[in-house]
Amino acid sequence: MRQTELVDRVASYSPDIDETLLNRAYVYAMHKHRHQKRASGDPYFSHPLEVASIVTDLKLDQESVVAALLHDTIEDTDATRREIDSMFGPNIGRLVDGLTKLKRIDLVSKKTRQGENLRKLLLAIAQDVRVLLVKLADRLHNMRTIHHVKPEKRHRIAQETMDIYAPLAGRMGMQDVRDELEELAFKNLHPEASELITRKLVSLRDESRSVIAEIENNLIENLAASGIKAVVKSRSKRAYSVFRKMERNGVSFEQLSDVIGFRVIVDEIDHCYRALGVTHRKWPAVPGRFKDYISTPKQNDYRSLHTTIVGPSHQRVELQIRTHGMNAIAERGIAAHALYKDGVYAAPDEDAKGKSDLSKKLASESLAYAWLRRTVESLSEGEHPDDVLEHTRLELFLDQVFCFTPKGRLIALPRGATAIDFAFAVHTDVGLSCVGCRINGQAAPVVTKLENGEEVQIIRSENHVPPAAWEHVVVTGKARAGIRRATREARMKQYSALGEKILTNAVKKANREFAIEDLTPVLGKLARNSAEDAVAAVGRGELPVDDVLQALYPDYQKERSTRERATEASSEGWFNLSGVANIMFRIPGRRRGKKYAEAAQEMTNSIPITGTSGDLPVKLDPAGGAVPGDRIVGILSEGEGVTVYPIHADALKNYENTADQWLDLRWDINEENPERFLAKIRVTAADAPGTLAEISEVIAKTDCNIANLFIEHPNDGLANMVFGIEVWDLKHLNRVQRETRSLSVVSHVERVSG
């Protein structure tokens, strides 16, 4: 495309253009890319020129066209943002910068880099939506020429297009761009399926020509008889759309009934509903197939009436009824907002600040743009770059349900969303304090999946912290980000308290005074951003106490040897756990002096299970410890009888290839005469005087006996303690772990076997 042709294309829809600006951008981009070639061997400048051509097809303003010409100059040439600003103005400089990938940033993985680039793009789009339009034009041309790229790179680009850019175009209502991106990506990811379905679609279209013409004529005649002027167009589904429906519904191509549909385009909104009435009076409607997206538009601004009828030849016919303005927005999405307002042409112009009417209109009118702003808000709350990709995919791929607050506010949510998602959609604070809900006036679990039209009332408690498990229940990125952040803050608080205790104790032993503010001058040595972060890292066991002491006191020397510290008793009458390794403690109690295996054998003279014959000796695995509530299996060994293992026991790996030895067992508990069973838990806690006493006290308060205790080698202020405990059942064991985990001196609690 020549320079004059580009100017003519822009002038055809925007007469008041600055030809000098366009010509200067054309020459500048051609000069900067003059020594570069594409993978096809063509001059590189052909790419930005084609991107600019696509932008003119969308009828965007001249700043967007200039940005399209310049979009690779900062990234791939010696051009700078300052130079772009000085030659073309700061608005165009901002657009080009928003389209420039992050290059010189040290990120650990391609996924992280991809997430950072996506975050940067979305933030730039939120500032000016024209960034997105030019970016989609750029990706579209790259996909049109992807056959010149190496196969491994081609697959990666196609997958990224399918995962991010095609759904993003759909979310912005740009259906034509989305369809083409999906088709091109599908062709590269699944070439055989693409070719087969395309061949079938062409064949079906050829076979149905007469039927299609008959339906078109019937629709036009019936609508005209009612005084409705309409344009009727037939359309067939694209190959990827057919492929996705076949996969989702598990059907063959021949079983699909709506491969070919019809679009009825009228002049006014009132005519949409009148056309619907005429059609339903003439032909039977298929129950459950009517949707009104005019009264309730989709989040991407899509508006239309959908219905399915049994047509003239007794076949199902899918109809979409909309106005010309709706059709423009359905095909070109946000790009059409600048040109159509209820079907009236309105060319974009520049305001005093140089921002196009397109961006102003979208900020105030577009539902799609509102979604984008909400997405960007969540991204700006500090998510990890890897989470940006997951979040965006969650938001892009899901269909919608519409629910209401008790005051009548409409909340649009992805399909499969729960009341928790609803709460976060209302406000982040509502989601964080959500403890229950009422759906249509009836109490319901917060994990209930919502349906269209339901009224949802959220029950709140200000002191509530959302459980971490909710992260795996919700489907919206905003809810997931909020839960992760709350969980992170709760853990940070716990680790900070634990870390402060560890540091205070260590500094006290060194005969020094400690305040958390003392860490600020040495944060650089510790590679931490704040004193709170450093203290929490100590609590998590990530930052050794000795490293902190060396940073605080350069003359610090490690104190007494492990043996000397191991023999020191604390003022509370409990062993100081510092440095103690591989010592089996004897805990006072009714099994004083017994080792774990001996205690286990004594407790299992009569095991309450079913699934074995009465003449076989049965014993519990002394290493693992099964408790009622565990799923259990038996291993039959010659001369030894049956050994009972919990299903999670490591020892079962030794019997994976001997299926004939396995027995299916079940507990047979006598509730009137309960007994205790041995289990093991590992507790990672602060290596300080009084820690063992504090943990033991909590275990005792839960009605639990300690049979034995094994102290493993402590690690930088933390000690690992393996408790052999006697519990009634699995529920009791879980309560012991939960109560122990709540202690400020405890970093981690887990059940162990073996």
Set out the domains of the chain in order of their start, with CATH numbers.
3-194 (1.10.3210.10), 195-345 (3.30.460.10), 486-559 (no CATH), 569-754 (3.30.70.260)
Residue 271 token pair: 């005519």
Q: What is the dihedral of CA 556, 561, 566, 568, to 10 degrees?
A: -70
Q: Are 655 and 633 in contact (CB under 8 A)?
A: no
Position 660 scores a pLDDT of 67
- Residue 568 annotated among the catalytic residues of the structure: no
Position 205 scores a pLDDT of 83
Token pair 């772990």: residue: 737
Position 652 scores a pLDDT of 81
Q: Are 505 and 516 in contact (CB under 8 A)?
A: no
- Taking only the tens place, the pLDDT of each residue in 536-558 is 888 777 778 878 887 888 776 55
Position 44 scores a pLDDT of 93
- Taking only the tens place, the pLDDT of each residue in 372-418 is 665 555 554 445 544 555 555 545 544 567 788 888 777 878 778 89
Stated pTM of the model: 0.52
Number of helical (H) and strand (E) elements in the chain, helices listed first: 30, 23
Rounded to whole angstroms, how far apart are CA atoms 45 and 25? 12
DSSP class of residue 250? T
Catalytic residue among 19, 76, 267, 390: 76
Q: Exposure pattern of 115-136 as b/e (b: 16+ CB <10 Å)?
A: bbbbbbbbebbbebbbbbbbbb
Position 544 scores a pLDDT of 80
Position 45 scores a pLDDT of 93
- Residue 75 annotated among the catalytic residues of the structure: yes
Give the chain's residues under pLDDT 70.
Answer: 101-126, 257-258, 335-400, 556-616, 622-624, 638-640, 659-660, 670-673, 713-716, 754
Position 121 scores a pLDDT of 62
- Taking only the tens place, the pLDDT of each residue in 188-235 is 999 999 999 999 888 888 888 888 888 888 889 989 999 999 999 888
Residue 713 token pair: 């080698």
Degrees to nearest 5, angle at CA 635 with 632 and 639: 145
Catalytic residue among 19, 57, 75, 180: 75
Residues facing 683 on adjacent strands: 721, 749
Position 482 scores a pLDDT of 86
Q: What is the 3-state secondary structure (H, E, C) of 653-704?
A: HHHCCCHHHEEECEECCCCCCCCCEEEEEEEEEECCCCHHHHHHHHHHHCCC
Position 431 scores a pLDDT of 92
Residue type, 37: K
